[in-house]
Amino acid sequence: MQSSLQTLSPLLPDRLAQHGAALTASERALADALGRDYPRALLESATALAARIGTSASTVVRLFAKLGYASYAEAQREARAEVTAMLQTAGQRASVTIGTQRSLQQCVDDTLLHDQHNITATRDGLDMPAFEAMATRIAEGPGRVFVLAQINSAPVAAWLALHLNMCRPGVHELGAGSVAATDQLLWVQPEDTLLAFSIRRYASGPVKVAQRFRDAGAQVLAITDSPAAPLAALAHQRVQVRTSNASPFDSYTAAFFLCNALVSAVAQLRHEAVSEALKRRDGLWEHFESQLILDGTTPAAQRKGRSRRTDKRG
């Protein structure tokens, strides 16, 4: 499904197929070489690429202009995204993402390009029936909802649990490997739901916890970066996010986007209950939090100051 907001630009192999008939003989030879070694062929400079293939740098520049790229640098960013998507670890991706000469401005631009592509690819590839089933289960399921992530996914899971808790009762963060998490697994019921993240490199904890939920007859919902993630096989419903980045580290921008959409969907399905809950939250905030800081002091400090003034008057 194509997003109504943005359409993904075709990758180099698709552009070569579309424009092949309009290429000169020298451009055709260059295109054939690029097609055989895409995307790694674009990791070197235009001059180095031309020298290796036996053509001129001007031919390289002219070809990419014909293919619709704003510059050779734009094609390189695309290639880095495709290469990093295939490499599993930050160590493997380091030479691709930081092994070339880039200005700090290019670092900013590359990051923006990757994250825009991540969000668009995640949206365009979203399994809407699975997304709708996940949102409905979270919004209307009778049991508790446990949110689980390990290592780098933990901040996304914490954000999701925080906001789902404002939409419905019974939301719990579940940190695999801790004593508290093990104790909570004692009481898993068929009406409960596990929402788990699994982003490379894959940890065994979420898989073991998901198996425990399945064994108890509970629902398992998964957010993964690949259908090959071990957690995917245990999920009743699964959606996928793209995590390529301009640095050696996975980007979680699309994961936050997807979680934001999930919270929005759950809030929509529970709109009356959520509106009432947020009113109660405002009241609780005013009662408990509004006096926490006043003129740079805490309530305890204010009371202590008043006590000293009373003692002096006495």
Per-residue confidence band for 256, with pLDDT thresholds at 50, 70 and 90: very high
Residue 172 has phi, psi (to 5 degrees) of -135, 135
Side chain identity at residue 134, one-letter code: M
> Mean pLDDT: which of 62-66, 285-289, 302-306 is highest?
62-66
Q: Is the pLDDT of residue 180 over 60?
A: yes
The burial of 107, by beta-carbon neighbours within 10 Å (0-12 exposed, 13-18 middle, 19 or more buried), is given as middle
Q: Is the pLDDT of residue 3 over 60?
A: no
Domains of the chain: 8-83 (1.10.10.10), 128-269 (3.40.50.10490), 276-313 (no CATH)
Q: Length of the chain, please?
A: 314
157-190 burial code (b ≥16 CB/10 A, e <16): bebbbebbbebbeebbbbbbeeeebeebbeebee
Per-residue pLDDT, averaged over 189-216, amounts to: 92
Edge-first strand order for the sheet with 171-174 is: 171-174, 145-148, 193-198, 219-224, 237-240
> Mean pLDDT: which of 29-43, 81-95, 136-150 is highest?
136-150
Handedness of CA 16, 19, 21, 26 (dihedral sign): negative
* Tokens read off for 195: 């929402």
By C-alpha distance, which of 222, 68, 27 is closest to 133? 222
Q: Is the pLDDT of residue 214 over 80?
A: yes
Q: What is the pTM of this model?
A: 0.69
- Report CA-CA distances (Å) from 184 to 45, 138, 170: 54, 19, 13
Side chain identity at residue 57, one-letter code: A
Distance, C-alpha 231 to centroid of its chain: 16
Per-residue confidence band for 274, with pLDDT thresholds at 50, 70 and 90: very high
pLDDT of residue 249: 84
Per-residue pLDDT, averaged over 71-76, amounts to: 84
| Better-scored residue on pLDDT, 191 or 9 | 191
Contact in structure between 273 and 170 (CB atoms under 8 Å) = no
